[in-house]
Structure 1
Amino acid sequence: MNRRRVAALAALLGTAGALIAMPPAAADPAAPALTWAACPVDVVINPLVTAQCATLPVPLDYGDPDGEQIEIMISRVAGPNPAKRRGILLTNPGGPGGSGLGLPSDLVGKGLPVSVSNAYDLIGMDTRGVGHSTPMGCGLTTDDGYQGNIPPYAPDDAAVVAQAEIAKKVAARCAANPRLRHLTTANTARDLDRVRIALGEEKASFLGFSYGSALGAAYASLFPDTADRVVLDSNVGDSHLNREGLRRYALGFEETFPDFARWLADRHDAYGMGRTPEQVRRTYLALVERLDRTPAPDGTTGAMLRAVVFAGLFSEAAYGRTAIILQTYLIPGSVPPAPETPPGPHPLDVALSVFLSVSCNDTEWPEDLDTYRRGVAEDRKRYPLYGAAAANVLPCAYWPWEPSEAPVEIVPNDVLIVQNRHDPVTPLAGGRLLRSAFGAGSRLLTVNGSGHGVYVLGGDACALNVTTAYLTDGRLPARDTVC
């Protein structure tokens, strides 16, 4: 596997002033007419379903709703019988920065029950700044040295200082695009409500995964009177992703890696990583520490390989591919020399920029480099597998704008919170935090499973049944439930 492919995988992961409160408008604005047409050719649509797309104008700045407008593209997989549908189901795949136009089609292809697709028009969206919505980027280039939305693992203090210089350069690039300051979770939640209004619906249900759980929490809290049935799957732990949420990635890696290690141990004769999970862990740590000292011929470092393994823990379906990558770097002579990477625009500029903008704009981040240096040192010991990555410094430390409003405060509500016990990026701790914030009317559905994504994506029968019953019949479990 060459360095560019490793770096691309890593980059995909993922992705002082007065606070001005901007509550949603008291009255719905006039609904614009939507013109439905075939979705863009690069949007992957399951051939078994019919999906259409439309664009919707929304304010760039909700503090100035009659000012500059941007476009949001949405997709729709309509229920087959309009007379029996109960409403719309807004969906979000995560990010921030992930394209969501194909998610409704993807969910149907992965087994979304017909009872759900009959009950709702399934709505996807490229959130503001992303994809076929009005795109917004920092103008990142391939020679900026920016590896991705999760900072690289810092094997020592000098690596934190070096990463800070890269973070400063990226923040300075982003400062050249003032539109980016309006990319926030709260504004995206307001966009969701504009979608509801444009579709002529009194209420809207919501299904969000990963960062989509934060967006759903913000949506349900800003619009409690119009949010209907809300499912939050694989949970960030709040209405936004802040530094503490990012540091929990290291906890998720530690809790989930033993599942991968056990899988590898059962296949030692094939992959040679160790006959017990403990041996696998030692082999893995020795490998990445060696690459930290001496990168592979293709330029891959231990930090890069840690990011690839982190991504490989998202699903057991990725274990085999991840095992092959590890085996390649274990066997001498298996790695070719690095190809040259031509300078130019970063292919993931928009995805990376939107992740940064939303995360940095939503909440205050520490601006003192020593705070990150201490955090990395602490988490390197506490979470040896990934702590020195998740605690490392982001461009948020040097972000050119202060938050324009306080993070959305979660309002108690009857939502269903769905969570794997072992999740590499959004550990169970995040689900428990949201359960506490939403209060007694909410329910936490914990699945004794491993990976990122539960409903439909994870394959657990109990979780599928319980979540489907809530979406179709409104039945929440009588109490917090373990599947």
Structure 2
Amino acid sequence: MAAGLKWAACPADVNAKTAPRTAQCATVPVPLDYSDPGGAQISLLVSRIASTKPEKRRGILMFNPGGPGGSGLDQPAFLANKGLPASVLDSYDLIGMDTRGVGHSTPMTCGLTEDIGYWANVPPYAADDAAVTAQAKIAEAVAKRCAATDTGGRLQHLTTANMARDLDRIRAALGEPKAGFYGASYGSALGAAYLSLFPDTIDRIVFDSNLADTHLDRDGLRRFARGVEETFPDFAKWAAARHASYGLGRTPAQVRKTYFTVAERLDKTPAADGTTGAIFRYLTFAHLYGDIQYGALAGIWQSLLTPAAGRATSAPPAVRAAPPVDNALTVFLAVTCNDVNWPEDVATYRRGVAEDRKRYPMFGAATANIIPCAYWKHEPSEPVKVGNEGPAEVLILQNRRDPVTPAVNAQLLRQKLGQRAKLVTVDDSGHGVYVLGGNACALNLTTAYLVGGKLPARDITCRS
């Protein structure tokens, strides 16, 4: 079957920022509805950087960078040019893809535009109880627009289970008896579903920066706020050491106080550029993904320190609801809402926001806020249970402090996988461990596993 794939140049946005290593792309057809495999088909665009060492080649290693809704076509070239070890490049054909509904695969959309007021996969911070009720109206409008736009009924087939089935179709189309997999963030949930549904065709598996299951549910979304609380002290320490430059506080405690001072002022009076307290909190959350972004975050804070200040560039790009954002949000919502049940009464979210505003004061009133899943047209289809039996072995990588997938997630996933998994916890901060994280211990352990199959004998902690 591999000979049937027609490899050609990828779209310009796949390789433009990752030269000199470039990928080729091919299209793989898959059923829209796996219960009707002979029915309507959709296309998946797949990328490949092939091993140039046939004597060392083990097979294929598929990548998913997260989401759901994130494009993964550029992952092979991106990671190869970020320093993926040559031994891994020699051992595998690196396979990326836009999952179903995303980007250069058959795209799906809710038609979300700026007027609807929904601009990120995390709901906005609710400064008070009335803000939850107001957000409920927006969430309902988004769900209704998705239902109205989806005249062909395609959105119901955007599920983690179907994406896992797609992975196995890609493996088969490439003519491989087994496939390795590296999944980061939501990619860990997709990988857990893939592992559970297809244990006999799985090769070596790495999960990085993890969700706790095969899906994102309300508890998982609320744990984002825990991740912010655990990760923010690293930024606060960084900023305090640079007080002479940014003026955000001489101690970490003062930096934290500055956060609440600015956020609460913006709750009452937005900045000149329209930055609200909710946007400020979201920007802070998004910039905690890695210390490479700390300088940019400090600059945003600095621009907002005085009343009526603010820069036009400080608002998140998603606020503008450009078409790619619509596509990414559509897939995020469809998969998240289709995978599991979400509460459908506003009172549940009001209680959760009140609880998490106290428990996680920095961001809890955002991640507990109501999302369109409360009004979603389709009922959950088929949640996948994590399997703890089977031949495949799993390496789980996790930073101790992660703003979106806190370390408790990896511990929960480790328990569900049982003895087939080993957990490597890195005493570091940020979202992403392998290659991008820069920790030598985790890099060496992961490379040894991918290339030589050497899984640690026990769970390990790597020092920073």
Deviations 1:355-413 (A, max 9, x none): 00000000010101111000000000000000000000000000000012233433335
Say yes or no: does 1:38 pair with 2:13: no
Alpha-carbon contact 1:414-1:438 (below 8 Å) kept: no
Q: For 1:411 and 1:219, how far apart are their aligned partners in 2?
A: 13
Label 1:265 to 1:337 Cα distance change in 2 as closer, same or farther (>3 A). closer
Aligned-residue offset at 1:297: 1.5
Counterpart in 2 of 1:283?
Answer: 258
What secondary structure, in the 3-state scheme, does the structure 1 residue paired with 2:14 have? coil
The higher relative CO (CA closer than 8 Å, separation ≥ 6) is in 1
Label 1:197 to 1:347 Cα distance change in 2 as closer, same or farther (>3 A). closer
Alpha-carbon contact 2:388-2:419 (below 8 Å) kept: no
Q: Percent identity?
A: 64
What secondary structure, in the 3-state scheme, does the structure 2 residue paired with 1:348 have? helix
Q: For 2:364 and 2:313, how far apart are their aligned partners in 1?
A: 28
Counterpart in 2 of 1:93?
Answer: 65
The partner residue of 1:376 within 345, 350, 353 is: 353
Aligned-residue offset at 1:275: 0.7
Counterpart in 2 of 1:442?
Answer: 421
Structure 1 segment 145-184 matched on structure 2, within 5 A: 145-176=117-148, 177=150, 178-184=153-159
Structure 1 segment 79-118 matched on structure 2, within 5 A: 79-118=51-90
Label 1:395 to 1:87 Cα distance change in 2 as closer, same or farther (>3 A). same
Letter of the aligned partner of 2:325 in structure 1? L
What secondary structure, in the 3-state scheme, does the structure 2 residue paired with 1:309 have? helix
Tell which deviates more after alignment, 239-248 or 344-353: 344-353
What secondary structure, in the 3-state scheme, does the structure 2 residue paired with 1:209 have? strand
Structure 1 segment 290-369 matched on structure 2, within 5 A: 290-332=265-307, 334-335=309-310, 346-369=323-346
What secondary structure, in the 3-state scheme, does the structure 1 residue paired with 2:120 have? coil
What secondary structure, in the 3-state scheme, does the structure 2 residue paired with 1:232 have? strand
What secondary structure, in the 3-state scheme, does the structure 2 residue paired with 1:35 have? coil
Q: For 1:453 and 1:277, how far apart are their aligned partners in 2?
A: 24
Alpha-carbon contact 2:271-2:309 (below 8 Å) kept: no
Aligned-residue offset at 1:336: 5.8
Q: For 2:399 and 2:67, how far apart are their aligned partners in 1?
A: 18
Counterpart in 1 of 2:399?
Answer: 420
Q: TM-score, normalised by structure 1?
A: 0.91
Alpha-carbon contact 1:39-1:52 (below 8 Å) kept: yes
Say yes or no: does 1:405 pair with 2:382: yes
Structure 1 segment 190-339 matched on structure 2, within 5 A: 190-332=165-307, 334-335=309-310
Alpha-carbon contact 1:445-1:481 (below 8 Å) kept: yes
Counterpart in 2 of 1:69?
Answer: 41
What secondary structure, in the 3-state scheme, does the structure 2 residue paired with 1:297 have? coil
Deviant stretches of 4+, over 6 Å: 341-345
Alpha-carbon contact 1:81-1:118 (below 8 Å) kept: yes
Letter of the aligned partner of 1:131 in structure 2? G
Aligned-residue offset at 1:320: 0.1
Q: For 2:397 and 2:171, how far apart are their aligned partners in 1?
A: 24
Alpha-carbon contact 2:103-2:324 (below 8 Å) kept: no
Deviations 1:62-82 (A, max 9, x none): 111111000000000000122
Letter of the aligned partner of 2:266 in structure 1? L
Letter of the aligned partner of 1:73 in structure 2? L
Structure 1 segment 386-401 matched on structure 2, within 5 A: 386-401=363-378
Counterpart in 2 of 1:468?
Answer: 447
Aligned-residue offset at 1:415: 0.5
Alpha-carbon contact 2:426-2:442 (below 8 Å) kept: yes
Aligned-residue offset at 1:148: 1.1
The partner residue of 1:138 within 104, 110, 126 is: 110
The partner residue of 1:459 within 425, 435, 438 is: 438
What secondary structure, in the 3-state scheme, does the structure 2 residue paired with 1:128 have? coil
Alpha-carbon contact 1:363-1:407 (below 8 Å) kept: no
Alpha-carbon contact 2:179-2:202 (below 8 Å) kept: yes
What secondary structure, in the 3-state scheme, does the structure 1 residue paired with 2:95 have? strand
Letter of the aligned partner of 1:33 in structure 2? G
Say yes or no: does 1:128 pair with 2:103: no
Q: TM-score, normalised by structure 2?
A: 0.95
Structure 1: tracts of 5 or more residues without a match: 1-29
Q: How many residues align?
A: 454
Aligned-residue offset at 1:289: 0.6
Label 1:110 to 1:337 Cα distance change in 2 as closer, same or farther (>3 A). closer
What secondary structure, in the 3-state scheme, does the structure 1 residue paired with 2:117 have? coil
Structure 2: tracts of 5 or more residues without a match: none
Aligned-residue offset at 1:147: 2.4
What secondary structure, in the 3-state scheme, does the structure 2 residue paired with 1:43 have? helix
Letter of the aligned partner of 1:62 in structure 2? Y
Quote the RMSD (CA, aligned, Å).
1.9
Q: For 1:446 and 1:220, how far apart are their aligned partners in 2?
A: 21
Q: For 2:312 and 2:242, how far apart are their aligned partners in 1?
A: 29
Label 1:51 to 1:345 Cα distance change in 2 as closer, same or farther (>3 A). closer
What secondary structure, in the 3-state scheme, does the structure 2 residue paired with 1:73 have? strand
Letter of the aligned partner of 1:372 in structure 2? Y
Alpha-carbon contact 2:271-2:307 (below 8 Å) kept: no
